[in-house]
Structure 1
Amino acid sequence: MSPTESELLFTSHHPLLFSLAYRMLGSVQDTEDLLQNVYITFSETETGDIQNKKAYLCKMVTNRCIDRLKSASKKREQYTGTWLPEPLITENRPNGDPAGHIFLKESVSMAYLLLLQQLSETERAVFILKEVLQYSYEEIAEIVGKSSTNCRQIFSRAKRSIVPPKEEPQMTEKGKWLAEQFFGALASGDTSKMLSLLSADASLLTDGGGKVKAAIFPILGAERIVRFYMGILSKFPQDMTYSITYVNGDPGLILYAGKHAYAVLSLHIEDNKIKTIYSVLNPEKLTHIT
C-alpha cells in the first residue's frame, strides 16, 4: 500500500479510531500520540492480504490502548485527588459532520467516561465496541482476539456492572445560558443566584493532579459548592477571562489566565439545574486547549 493510500484509509477512519482510543484512555494527548504511532506502523505494513482494514486498524488501536492502560495503572493508583478525563472540546463539531455521531450519538460525557474506568481494559474495549460503536460480536472477536461467545459474556458482565448516567439533551442554548449565568454569578459573588442554578444535591469534582490546589474529595451539596467557590474566588488570576463552549458534549467553560487555559469546567444538567460540575485544573491535561 502506498503512503497516499494508507494515509487516505487512515484519515477516513480517524474519527472512529479517535473515539475508540479516547474513550479507552480518557486522554486527548495520549490518544493523539497513540494514533500517530498506529499511522506510522500501518503505513509501513503490507496490508494486501488484510480483508477488513478498518477492523485491523481498530485492533491496532485497541491493543495499544490496553497495553498503555496496564502500564499506567500504578500511576493512576497514586494519582493525587480525583482523576478526571482530559476535557474534549466538542463545540466545533457541526451537525452535518458525518463523523459527528461517533462522538455525540452516545455520550462522551465526563460521567460516562468515569463509569468506563470501573471496567478492566478488555471489558472496556468490548463494551465500547459493542455499546458505543455498534460492532457485532463477530467483529469484536476479531479485534480483541477472543471468541464471539466470550465477547458476549464480557459485554454482559460489563453491562451489569455499570449504570449509565441519566442523559438529557445538552446541546441547547439553555445549557449554554446556565453555564454563562453560573460563571457570571460566581464572578460577581452572587451566592443566591448560584444556589438557584444548582441542584440541592449537586456535586463538584475537581482534578488538580497534585500540580495545583484543588479539592481532594468531591464537594457535595449546593451550599458547600457555593462556599467553596466563594473561598477561592479571590485566588483566581486577575486577568481571568472565559469562553462558553461544549465540553464532552455538555455545556461548559474554558477559563483563561492570559492566553493559557487555567481550568475547564463541564456541567451536567438535569431538570434545568446544574447537577454535577467537573473541573479540570491539572495543567498537564490542558495543554491541548487553545
Structure 2
Amino acid sequence: MTTTIADEFEAHRPRLFGLAYRMLGSAADAEDAVQDVYLRFSGTDRTVIEQHAAWLAKAVTNLCLTRLTSARARRERYTGTWLPEPVLTSDGTLGPLESAEQRDAVSLALLVLLERLTPTERAVYVLREAFAYSYREISGVLDLAEANCRQLHRRAVARLEVPEARFEPTPERRSGLVESFLAAAQEGDMAGLEKILAEDVVWWSDGGGKVSAALRPVEGREKVLRLLVKGWEKWAVGLDFSLAEVNGSPALLARSGDALAFTVSFTFRGGVVTDVRAVLNPDKLEFAGRQLGGT
C-alpha cells in the first residue's frame, strides 16, 4: 500500500503539535502552525528531503519563532493576567508524561516562565528539555553553531530559575489535595482551605477581558481565602465540577452542561498549594472543550 502525504504527516502530527504548543503556549496557535507546515510539506518534493521528521521539526520550530514575535506584542496588550491555554493530557495529546520532569515540562507554571525567554532561547530550551535533542540536532534545526546552542541553553536555564522538585507530593497526593480543595471551597470551609494553601499562595485569573476576573494576581493566603469565600458561590452557580489531568497535573474542570466554563490548575510544594491558575477566557477553552467533546 502506498503511503500518502496525509498519512505520513498524521504520524508526525502529535509530536509537531506538542512542540508547537510548548513554543507558543497556545493550542489554537499550535494547531494553525502545524497545519501550515502540512501545507508546506504537501507542496514539497519529498524525494529531496533526506529525513522527513527532522525537516518537519525544523519547519514547525522556525514557524513558531516567527509567530512568537507577534504573539509577544499581543500579550503586552492583553487585558489582565495572561495564562497559557489549558490542554487535557491524560490522552497523550502532549506526548508521554510518565515522570515528574515530563509533567513539569508542560505545566502552566513552566509555560508562563518560558515567556521570560527570547524566542531562540525558548526554542533551544524546549528542544533540549522536552524532546531531548542533542546540541548538534538543535544546531541543525536553528542553523546555529553548537557552541551557540549550548550558550543559549545555559542562559535559558539561568533565566528560568526553575525551583527544584524536592518534596513534591505524589500524583495521588496531588489529586487528593485538589479534591480537598474543591470540597472545602464548596462548603465554605475556611479551616480546610487554610490547611491546603501555602502562606504565600498566589491566585492568577485569566479572563482576557471577556469574562469577569481579577486583573492582578491575588497574593497571600488570607487574600486568597477571602477571594474564595466571597466569590466561589457566585462562580459555581449552575456548574458541575470534575477532576482531570490538565497540563500533566490534577486540575478542576467547571462545566455548564456540555460547555467548559473554566479550568483551575495548581502548583504544589511540600504537600500544599503554592499557585492557583484559573483560565476563564472562553477563547482559551475551545481546544480543551473539544477534547471533552463539548461544543
TM-score (norm 2): 0.90
Paired with 1:131 and 1:125, the residues of 2 have a C-alpha distance of: 10
Partner of residue 193, structure 1: 192
**Contact 1:88/1:247 (<8 A) preserved:** yes
**Contact 1:62/1:143 (<8 A) preserved:** yes
**Contact 2:211/2:281 (<8 A) preserved:** yes
One-letter amino acid matched to 2:114: L
**Contact 1:246/1:252 (<8 A) preserved:** yes
Secondary structure at the residue paired with 1:186?
helix
Provide Cα deviations, 1:170-217, integer angstroms capped at 9, x if missing partner: 662221121111111111111111111111111111111111111111
**Contact 1:112/1:165 (<8 A) preserved:** no
Q: 1:214 to 1:103 in 2, by over 3 A?
A: farther
Paired with 1:256 and 1:270, the residues of 2 have a C-alpha distance of: 28
Q: 1:109 to 1:8 in 2, by over 3 A?
A: same
One-letter amino acid matched to 1:239: G
Secondary structure at the residue paired with 2:278?
strand
Secondary structure at the residue paired with 1:287?
helix
Paired with 1:115 and 1:102, the residues of 2 have a C-alpha distance of: 22
Paired with 2:13 and 2:125, the residues of 1 have a C-alpha distance of: 20
State the 4+ residue runs in structure 1 displaced beyond 6 angstroms: none
Partner of residue 146, structure 1: 144
Identity %: 38
* 2:127 aligned residue (126, 129, 136): 129
Paired with 2:214 and 2:86, the residues of 1 have a C-alpha distance of: 18
Q: 1:197 to 1:251 in 2, by over 3 A?
A: same
Partner of residue 276, structure 1: 275
Q: 1:86 to 1:177 in 2, by over 3 A?
A: same
Partner of residue 54, structure 1: 53
One-letter amino acid matched to 1:132: A
**Structure 1 spans left out of the alignment, 5+ residues:** none
Q: 1:251 to 1:79 in 2, by over 3 A?
A: same
Secondary structure at the residue paired with 2:87?
coil
Give the total of aligned pairs.
285
**Structure 2 spans left out of the alignment, 5+ residues:** none
1:167 maps to 2:198:
no
One-letter amino acid matched to 1:35: V
Partner of residue 263, structure 2: 264
Paired with 1:102 and 1:55, the residues of 2 have a C-alpha distance of: 24
Partner of residue 239, structure 1: 238
Paired with 2:76 and 2:221, the residues of 1 have a C-alpha distance of: 29
